[in-house]
Amino acid sequence: MAGITRPGYGAADPDTMRRFRRLAARAEKRGLVKVFGSLVFRPRHAVTALLPPAADVRVVRALCGKGRLRQGLDRLVLLLVLRFEPAAYYLFGLFDDARFARAGEFITQRQLTNVLEFLNRDLPVDKVHDKAAYAGLCRTLDVPAPEVLGTWTPHVLPEPDFAPDLGRMADAHGVILKPVRGHGGNGLVILRRHGDGTWFLHDNDGTRDGLDWAAVHRALAPTGETFVVQQLAAAHPDLAAFGGTALPAVRLVTLWGEDGPRPISACVRIGRDGAVADNFSQGGTAAGVDLETGVLRPGTRAATGDMPGAITHLGPANRPLAGLRLPHWDQVLDIGLRLHRACPEFLSLGHDIAITADGATALESNNTWAARTGQKALDSGLGATPLPAALLDQAAARRRDGAR
């Protein structure tokens, strides 16, 4: 077995990344429970690191020849040196020696979420987190977005006040119900109405067809959610050709700088067949996007055996994925930048933007956004972007303001 090596930092600045991880560790120590969790983070995960899942071990052994012991030791090194959860080893493909050598440029979801939540803790997060408020923001800015009918709480009302409009929209386009404070595609519901008046319902539990309205209500009332009800957008034919039942979306990450916001990362997510959302974690495909041209790179999935850049063709007709120039790319960039300019209090936002035949349309913006999808899709860590340094600068500014 070859000797264990220490991970490097690739395109990232080592000192910046070490300081960023110290900030992330401090940021998670809010409240007694979180302080305890932070203190025992490495000891708790050490055993997990040394006992990798058998299924992942088999995949990696077939790919690069590393056995269980070597994989366990690699994972332990990443935990001790970079404070990585053991699963990051498989997610980012760090069992590949060349990628392991630059593992320090990657940022885990735990690290990014802790820092963003810490820096955003006193900000008006409902401005983007609340789906109804976000729809109002898009209307104010005249940003294209799916038409919103209103909000509905099924466990309070058996049908919304706008039921006739909902029916007409469900006939023509379909409607999507989003939990007002939902995230990550959780709780989404798609409704369509057939010509005979029966309903089709698609949620995370699967599909149900031929329902009357009472059955729709019985399915939704137990969720306890208040939903924003809006028109279901249809994907541009170039993206619809890749299949999947969910609406594909671009995740565009913007960062506020001296001259306002600028894009720093983008990928497109394409859901798997049967999924109601385009989530990477639910088996979807993600492909990096060149920010200058809107051209797609080869794609990947979250599974261990799907290496970054492994998927060049996708869909029922095996259409080329790599090299496709996304239509309406300039509109995608414009929407993300306009939305961030309207929210200057947030250092960074992750925007979900769909591309339809008529142009780009805003779906949501997130003040705390997923780190893993874009990094694996682009095969490049966020440490290679200006983000870590900007987060450190903002944290330092907050400390100075607090000392005054």
Mind listing the pLDDT tens digit for each residue in 357-390? 999 999 999 999 999 999 999 999 999 999 999 9
* pLDDT mean over 97-117: 96
Domain 126-133+236-381 homologous superfamily, CATH: ATP-grasp fold, B domain (3.30.470.20)
Length of the chain: 404
Is residue 189 over pLDDT 70?
Answer: yes
Going by C-alpha positions, the residue among 225, 221, 224, 226 that lies closest to residue 132 is 226
- At residue 31, does pLDDT exceed 60? no
pLDDT band at 398 (very low <50, low <70, confident <90, very high): confident
Q: Are 9 and 17 in contact (CB under 8 A)?
A: yes
- Cβ distance 326 to 332 under 8 Å? yes
CA 56 to chain CA mean position, Å: 23
Quick check: 29 pLDDT over 80?
A: no
Q: Is the per-residue pLDDT at 2 higher than 80?
A: no
* Helices and strands of the chain, counted as H and E runs: 16, 14
Residue 32 confidence (pLDDT) above 60: no
Q: Which long-range contacts (CB under 8 A, 24 or more apart) does 146-149 make?
A: 146/176, 146/230, 146/231, 146/232, 146/233, 146/361, 146/363, 147/230, 147/231, 148/228, 148/229, 148/230, 148/231, 149/175, 149/229, 149/230, 149/231
Give the single-character DSSP code of 357.
Answer: T
Phi, psi of 182 (to 5 degrees): -80, 165
Q: What's the token pair of residue 67? A: 């056995």
Residue 194 one-letter amino acid: H
**314 pairs with which residues across the strands?**
319
Distance between CA atoms of residues 57 and 194, nearest Å: 48
Q: Is 24 exposed, middle or buried (0-12, 13-18, 19+ CB in 10 A)?
A: buried
Say whether pLDDT at 1 is over 60. no
pLDDT class for 399, splitting at 50, 70, 90? confident
Distance CA 163, CA 155 (A): 15
- Using DSSP's 3-state secondary structure scheme, residue 263 falls into strand
Section 331-347 average pLDDT:
97
262 pLDDT higher than 90: yes
In whole angstroms, what is the distance from residue 14 CA to residue 10 CA?
A: 9
Residue 36 has pLDDT above 80, yes or no: no
Q: Please report the pLDDT score of residue 404 as a whole number.
A: 41
**DSSP helix, strand, coil percent of the chain (3-state; round to 5):** 40, 20, 40
pLDDT for the residue 202: 95
Residue 39 makes CB contacts below 8 A (sequence gap 6+) with none
β-bridge partners, 181:
none
pTM, 2 dp? 0.93
Cβ neighbors of 164 (< 8 A, separation 6 or more) are none
Tokens of 262: 């600028």
Angle at 234 between CA 162 and CA 377, to 5 degrees: 125
Q: How far from 367 is each of 129, 156, 236, CA to CA, in Å?
A: 7, 30, 27
Q: What is the mean pLDDT of the chain?
A: 93
Question: Which residues make up the CATH 3.30.470.20 domain(s) of the chain?
Answer: 126-133+236-381
For residue 318, the model assigns a pLDDT of 94
Position 275 confidence tier, pLDDT thresholds 50, 70, 90: confident
Query: What is the H or E stretch that residue 226 is in?
Result: none
> What's phi and psi for 393, nearest 5 deg?
-65, -40
